């Protein structure tokens, strides 16, 4: 019997496949030619232990992008977000950032990476010259160090040194009033933990020179068991404890320290407590923990902030995080700068961003400013208060004074050789 059909792929099938291939290759080009959208790339961490950083950053961004698009977009161009996971690896962050710009045609980058990833994306921005907004890295050096400075990169996040100045002065007041002389610290063992604690102690001693640090603990990042740390602190018998543990680490720490009734034996200052990621997860939130505000919808106590927090909760069924407001601010600033420049061009937006002051639910006085000299965010709400076990969790927040912050920040820059 003769075979009528040869095995393998027929000519007709080959032609069909080639046709399909050509169409699928050509489609993006057609789409791009018609597109009036502006693509904004966003490398962030969407997997692993800190995936919440990525998801809540994404939520914060999308909430604002929808508003901007409804109002006509960036200079008439609708924003299209391209959000991609870097797995928290700096080399992946750099690769993804390059891919977003070079292949996906993104004209602006929102760098929602943490720590080292942000520095990797910063180098990509330096290399490609694309407008880049760092939204999550709070490492002061990213904008304070003149070696890092490039005209196309901005930061719309808090800055470590601001937190330390406000935290230090707040703690010193309490220390003087209550006579807290013996202090202990307990912070995660990596750059953020070490730097933040160091700066905090510096400013605490500056405002209250007679305090002394009698015990230091450096648990590993993501350590599951804190028994040893808790008992060490209890044995040292300090009058006050400072910690910059955050997220899941902070909540496990509190749950475990509660067993030893640690919180009734000393004043505790935990800078990252007043964030819903920690407040809503802790089993028995002790009363009276001093904390800096990260994001809380009752501070600033304005209708705008409360409305923003509620809108977020309504849309995503969870409260915003510190990362959410920082990322939302990036989009708010972009929209305003684009309006001012009447353009969606990265260079023109960058020009308009320098020194730009916008109305913001997260501002200490209802506004935030993109400081021109080092292209970082200032004027955001920053303050400390004490916790209660139920909503609103931190009823009274004492505002930090931005005038003092600016003075001490300038001094700090000089001491570091940055200014």
- Give min distance, CB of 193 to other proteins, in A: 10
Strands 182-186 and 153-155, by their bridges, are unpaired
Nearer to other proteins, 146 or 355 (CB): 146
Q: What are phi and psi of 82, to 5 degrees?
A: -120, 105
Per CB under 8 A, the segment of 15-23, 112-120, 337-345, 402-410 that binds other proteins is 112-120
Nearer to other proteins, 51 or 301 (CB): 51
- Give min distance, CB of 402 to other proteins, in A: 27
CA pair distance 66, 80, nearest whole angstrom? 10
List the one residue from 3, 6, 147, 283 that touches other proteins (CB under 8 A): 147
Q: Which residue has the tokens 């505002």?
A: 399
Is residue 80 at the binding interface for other proteins, with CB under 8 A as the rule? no
List the one residue from 40, 50, 62, 120 that touches other proteins (CB under 8 A): 120
Q: In what order do the strands lie in the sheet with 131-134?
A: 79-85, 38-44, 108-111, 131-134, 153-155, 376-378, 367-371, 357-359
Nearer to other proteins, 145 or 351 (CB): 145
CA pair distance 23, 6, nearest whole angstrom? 27
Binding positions for other proteins, 34-73, rule CB under 8 A: 46-47
- Positive or negative: CA dihedral 354, 358, 361, 365: positive
List the one residue from 80, 123, 216, 351 that touches other proteins (CB under 8 A): 123
Query: Three-class SS of residue 410?
Result: helix
CA torsion 8→10→15→19, rounded to 10°?
A: -60
- Give min distance, CB of 379 to other proteins, in A: 26
- Give min distance, CB of 417 to other proteins, in A: 14
Nearer to other proteins, 95 or 348 (CB): 95
- Give min distance, CB of 178 to other proteins, in A: 34
List the one residue from 94, 184, 208, 328 that touches other proteins (CB under 8 A): 94
Report the first-to-last Cα separation within the chain, whole angstroms: 90
- Give min distance, CB of 84 to other proteins, in A: 6
Opening angle at CA 278, ends 273 and 284, nearest 5? 95
List the one residue from 37, 52, 78, 89 that touches other proteins (CB under 8 A): 89
CA distances in angstroms from 116 to 76, 112, 149, 299, 362, listed in the order given = 35, 11, 16, 30, 26
DSSP 211-235: -EEEEEE-PPTT-S--HHHHHHHHH
Query: Three-class SS of residue 11?
Result: helix
- Give min distance, CB of 256 to other proteins, in A: 25
Is residue 413 at the binding interface for other proteins, with CB under 8 A as the rule? no
List the one residue from 37, 116, 173, 223 that touches other proteins (CB under 8 A): 116
List the one residue from 77, 84, 134, 158 that touches other proteins (CB under 8 A): 84
Is residue 115 at the binding interface for other proteins, with CB under 8 A as the rule? yes
- The residues that touch other proteins, with contacts defined as CB under 8 A, are 46-47, 84-85, 87, 89-92, 94-96, 98-99, 102-103, 115-116, 119-120, 123, 126-127, 139, 141, 145, 147-148, 190-191, 194
């Amino acid at each position: 019997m003769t075979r009528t059909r040869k095995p393998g792929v027929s000519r007709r099938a080959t032609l069909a496949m080639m046709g399909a291939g050509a169409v699928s290759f050509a489609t993006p080009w057609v789409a791009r030619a018609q597109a009036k959208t502006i693509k904004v790339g966003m490398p962030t961490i969407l997997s692993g232990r800190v995936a919440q950083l990525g998801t809540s950053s994404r939520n914060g961004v999308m909430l604002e992008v929808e508003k901007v698009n409804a109002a006509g977009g960036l200079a008439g161009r609708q924003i299209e977000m391209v959000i991609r996971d870097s797995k928290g690896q700096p080399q992946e962050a750099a690769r993804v950032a390059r891919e977003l710009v070079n292949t996906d045609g993104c004209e602006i980058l929102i760098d929602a990476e943490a720590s080292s990833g942000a520095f990797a994306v910063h180098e990509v921005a330096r290399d490609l010259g694309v407008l880049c907004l760092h939204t999550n890295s709070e490492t002061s050096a990213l904008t304070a160090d003149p070696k890092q400075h490039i005209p196309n990169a901005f930061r719309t996040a808090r800055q470590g040194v601001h937190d330390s100045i406000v935290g230090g002065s707040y703690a010193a007041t309490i220390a003087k009033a209550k006579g807290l002389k013996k202090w202990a610290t307990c912070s995660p063992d990596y750059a953020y933990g070490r730097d933040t604690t160091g700066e905090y102690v510096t400013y605490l001693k500056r405002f209250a020179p007679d305090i002394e640090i009698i015990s230091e603990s450096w648990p590993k990042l993501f350590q599951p068991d804190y028994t040893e740390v808790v008992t060490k602190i209890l044995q040292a018998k300090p009058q006050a404890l400072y910690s910059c543990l955050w997220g899941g680490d902070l909540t496990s720490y509190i749950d475990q320290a509660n067993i030893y009734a640690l919180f009734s034996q000393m004043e505790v200052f935990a800078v990252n407590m007043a964030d819903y990621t920690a407040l809503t997860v802790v089993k028995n939130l002790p009363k009276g923990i001093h904390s800096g505000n990260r994001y809380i919808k009752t501070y600033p106590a304005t209708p705008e902030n409360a409305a923003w927090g509620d809108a977020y909760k309504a849309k995503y069924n969870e409260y915003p995080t510190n990362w959410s407001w920082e990322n939302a601010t990036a989009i708010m600033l972009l929209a305003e700068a684009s309006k001012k420049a009447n353009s969606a061009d990265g260079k023109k937006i960058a020009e308009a961003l320098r020194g730009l002051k916008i109305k913001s639910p997260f501002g200490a006085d209802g506004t935030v400013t993109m400081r021109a000299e080092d292209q970082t965010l200032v004027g955001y709400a920053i303050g400390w208060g004490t916790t209660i076990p139920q909503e609103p969790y931190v009823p009274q927040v004492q505002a930090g004074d931005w005038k003092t912050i600016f003075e001490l920040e300038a001094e700090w820059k000089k001491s570091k050789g940055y200014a």
